[in-house]
Structure 1
Amino acid sequence: MTHTITAPRPYQNYVYAYPHKTAYRPFTPRPLLADLWAGESRRALSLYLHIPFCEVRCGFCNLFTRVGAPDGLTGRYLDALTRQAEAVRAALGDARPPHFATAAFGGGTPTFLEAGELSRLCDIAERVMGADLRAIPLSVEASPSTATADRLRVLAERGATRLSLGVQSFLDREARAAVRPQRRADVEAALGRVRDAGIPVLNIDLIYGINDQTAATWRQSLDAALAWKPEEIYLYPLYVRPLTGLDRNTDPIAAEREWDGQRLRRYAEGRDHLLAAGYEQVSMRMFRRLDAPPQGPDDYACQTDGMIGLGCGARSYTSGAHYSFDYAVAPREVRTIIDTYTATTDFTRAVCGRVIDGDEAERRYLLQSLLQAEGFAIADYQLRFGRQPRDAFPAELDALAERGWLTDPDSHQLRLSPEGLAYSDAIGPEFFSPDVRAAMAAYEHR
């Protein structure tokens, strides 16, 4: 995985969405949701419900979540979620009712909620928002300790097609090193319960780059996951981010070249092992079993279609703006934002976000297409934006070609090479706009 051209550091920014929330700012004045969604397509929307609670905070976690929920906080949170859903549904109106093509419950840990609360969460999606959870793909995130039989039963009955279990490592010592206290026996028991529940797609998350992880221990986790024949496996590089548990206890030198090399080696080992085991690579992180059943109809395109996010950590997308609530990582700040959310009665306006003009929309489309293993057709890009990718980003694409990170720069499909996919987290930031870079740099982590 080497090339004569000097490569940038491989692990810079996980681009699962663009722009990142650290580029968001408070809206002044706050726009009405009805105005943001006026004229927007409702043909294929994604619905995301965010639950910001976990039983423990992992050392690598920078998600918007808090540990525990004392004094009936989950009930108050679901009350606020209902109020928000009602306001959003009213803003969308009935002249062109929304059609949801996909749904997801994320967090945090959605299965932190008890079984009855999960039923209530599904009711919000179905009865308030109008999503038919039994007719569309529904993905739910879970942890081993919260994947209990009664919770899984509710999810299966309400139409969940995918359950993603955050295992990270099957080795107890590595789990402790990542500040994720769990026992392998408990993980295996949880996986058994997921299979017993009959949810069609099981995804297992694993992390590479943990302190003292070796090729041999990484292979043990991979083989332990493969023993369950999961339909999907995600391989995540460990990041040490500001204000996370590991960041408070790790010398910054740990993130230098030696760690980069270790993570690249573990990535290649994991990728090759999964490909040999009958999986296809969908992106740098995602691998799908070749004979995995389809989740169901999915006509949602994340590059172009809108998303409605409910919950204080969720973001929503229209063609002209992305919006959410305030963002933080530090526990005290997160608690304050959750308390503010649960006390909110007026959800008719967007609080924080960013206007997405033509240039930013083009960057977002390219990033979310190029970072998929299949890439994208240049003709589709030109049809949408009126020019070819090379006309828009000549310097960036020339640099990728010089490094050997494109499969065939002269073909009709723009696709990353295997080495390019390995460097996805370096490629993404190269396409950030100057304005987004400046906003992210000016953001004060809290």
Structure 2
Amino acid sequence: MIKAAYFHIPFCAQICHYCDFNKVFFKGQPVDEYLQAMEKEMKNIIENFPAAELKTIFVGGGTPTVLEIKQLDRFLNSIYKYFRFNVNEVEFTFEANPNELSKKKLKLLKEAGVNRLSFGVQTFDDKLLQKIGRTHRKHDVLQTIEMAKEIGFSNISIDLMYGLPEQTIDHFRETLNIAFSLDVEHFSAYSLIIEPKTVFYNLWKKDMLPLPTQEEEAEMYEWAMEQMERHGYKQYEISNYAKPGFESRHNLTYWNNEEYFGIGAGAHSYVHGKRNVNAGPLKKYMNLIQETGFPYIESHEVTLAEKMEEEMFLGLRKTEGVSKEKFVQKYHRSLYDVFGNQIAEQKQRGLLEETDTHIRLTHRGKLLGNEVFQAFIGVI
């Protein structure tokens, strides 16, 4: 039974220059009609695919906290109407921009059972924030996190980025120092990826995007790993670090290759062996909900071979790696029966290592993770 649900709110006050997620400007959009369509999708999902009691809920975007108070309240009530979960046990995450959370909104979220906040901070360098299209500044982050703690939030995550245009290693070190001073429970640290259909992609194509070298980016990643460990944050996934007990249970659903609901425009889901993709444009999403009850534009029955490949390239993202025992339990074959040659080759390259219970990336393997993951795709 499915125990995780993702909800997508695609509205943003400002579109960041690097972002390729499904999003639209908030102003002038049919927000109330969209929330109504989302509620209908929730109803249809639960009627057709009965859920277990949810253990994780994640609301992402876009920027979910751009919603007005009444809209936020309506959306949260919809979740409670259709999904079962224990407010004392569920991990209930909301993504947020530091400059868009009033005390009133924070209190509403807290009273509604939201117990984890994920802030898109990216950097504490104000000039760099402006350069990447963010609307908040360093003081907004400090102020909002302090306010969230005062209201009672005790599970806060911060997203950071490295490899940004004109970002130096010293810039990134300073950002990490400020981040650690906030004493939050979780960090995600991602390298910039230039995605098509973004401002940065267009600049990059014109050779107008001055990026750090690959060596500098690798140095930033190694510095992050070293400093996170030093400050008590355990790396449990390639880009994620947590104090003990504060790992993102929702994201572990993905990396453990487990099924989940995905609701909203552009959301992905993995339900009853099928991976589904929802329509991204708001009008198309709402029309499909109205016409068919489901907004799917793609639906793929995952084959056994694909499941085993996904088990490898998703599981290897975790620092503990892929469990030999769980692989046998799920697929009734040993890891070496299926991927013996690939494991041997990556071990020989020094990118994989083996423990009694797991196959996992080495330190060097973390730096070349995408190469390792690629080795397990399309080989069965």
Alpha-carbon distance in 2 for matches of 1:325, 1:301: 17
Find the partner of 2:264 among 300, 306, 311.
Answer: 311
- What is the CA deviation profile of residues 173-209 of structure 1, one whole-angstrom value per residue up to 9, with x for unaligned ones? 1112222243212222222222222122110111000
With over 3 angstroms needed to count, the CA separation of the structure-2 counterparts of 1:202 and 1:85, relative to structure 1, is same
* TM-score of the two chains, using structure 2 as the length reference: 0.91
Distance 2:79 2:277 in 1: 18
SS at match of 1:313: coil
Which letter maps to 1:351? I
Q: d(CA) in 1 for partners of 2:128 and 2:212?
A: 19
Is this contact kept in 2: 1:101–1:298, CA < 8 A? no
- Going from structure 1 to structure 2, the CA distance change for 1:213 and 1:276 (only over 3 Å counts) comes to same
Per-residue deviation at 1:379? 2.2
For the residues of structure 2 that align with 1:406 and 1:434, how far apart are their CA atoms? 17
Matches within 5 A, 1:27-426: 42=1, 44-70=2-28, 73-92=30-49, 98-251=52-205, 259-290=213-244, 303-327=256-280, 337-343=281-287, 344-349=289-294, 350-408=296-354, 411-426=356-371
Q: Which is worse superposed, 410-419 or 242-251? A: 410-419
Using the TM superposition, give the Cα deviation of residue 415 of structure 1 relative to its aligned residue in structure 2, in angstroms.
1.5
* Residues 70-105 of structure 1, C-alpha deviations (whole Å, 9 max, x = no match): 15x211110111111111122135xxx532121110
Aligned counterparts of 2:200 and 2:356: Cα–Cα separation in 1? 43
CA distance in structure 2 between the aligned counterparts of 1:297 and 1:69, rounded to whole angstroms:
30
The aligned amino acid for 1:215 is I
Q: How far off is 1:347 after superposition? A: 4.4
CA 1:215–1:112 in structure 2 vs 1: closer, same or farther (change >3 Å)?
same
Alpha-carbon distance in structure 2 between the residues aligned to 1:301 and 1:64: 19
User: Does the C-alpha gap of structure 1 residues 296 and 401 become closer, same or farther in structure 2, counting only changes over 3 Å?
Assistant: closer
Structure 1: tracts of 5 or more residues without a match: 1-41, 328-336, 436-446
- Aligned in 2, Cα 1:54/1:234: closer, same or farther, shift over 3 Å? same
**What is the letter of the counterpart of residue 153 of structure 2?**
I
1:82 maps to a residue whose letter is: E
Mean CA deviation greater in 236-245 or 421-430: 421-430
Between the aligned partners of 1:240 and 1:197, the Cα distance in structure 2 is 37
Local SS of the residue matching 1:170: coil
Query: Hey, what's the Cα distance between the residues in 1 that align with 2:368 and 2:88?
Result: 37
In 2: Cα distance, 1:65 partner to 1:296 partner: 25
CA gap of 1:296–1:271, structure 2 versus 1, over 3 A, is closer
Q: Say which is worse superposed, 340-349 or 81-90, in terms of deviation.
A: 340-349
Q: Quick one: distance in 2 between partners of 1:234 and 1:296?
A: 14
Aligned to 2:299, the other structure's residue is in SS state strand
SS at match of 1:287: strand
Shift of the alpha carbon at 1:254?
A: 8.4
RMSD: 2.7
Q: Is the 8 A contact 1:49 1:106 kept in 2?
A: yes
Any idea what the Cα deviations from partners look like across 1:4-35, whole Å, max 9, x if unmatched?
Answer: xxxxxxxxxxxxxxxxxxxxxxxxxxxxxxxx
**Contact conserved, 2:167 with 2:212, CA < 8 A, in 1?**
no
Q: Which residue of 1 aligns with 2:378?
A: 433
Deviations 1:356-389 (A, max 9, x none): 0100111111222221011132122123222222
Q: What is the distance in 2 between the residues matched to 1:406 and 1:296?
A: 25
Cα distance in 2 for partners of 1:61, 1:70 equals 21
Q: Structure 1: how far apart are the matches of 2:375 and 2:193? A: 19
Contact 1:101 1:299 in 2 (8 A): no
Q: Give the conservation status (yes or no) of the 8 Å contact 2:91–2:115.
A: yes
Query: Letter of the aligned partner of 1:389 in structure 2?
Result: L
Distance 1:297 1:217 in 2: 31
Q: Distance in 2 between matches of 1:244 and 1:190?
A: 28
Give the direction of change, closer, same or farther, for the CA distance of 1:84–1:69 in structure 2 (3 Å limit).
farther
Identify if the C-alpha distance between structure 1 residues 347 and 150 changes in structure 2 by more than 3 Å, giving closer, same or farther.
Answer: farther
Distance 1:398 1:101 in 2: 37
Q: Are the equivalent residues in 1 in contact too, given 2:44–2:293 (CA < 8 A)?
A: yes
For structure 2, the residue ranges without an aligned partner over 5 or more in a row are none
TM-score, structure 1 as length reference:
0.78
For 1:213 and 1:101, locate their aligned partners in 2 and report how far apart those are by CA, in whole Å. Answer: 38
SS at match of 2:352: coil
Q: Which has the higher contact order (CA 8 A, sep 6+)?
A: 1
- Checking the alignment, whether the CA contact within 8 Å between 2:278 and 2:297 is kept in structure 1 is yes
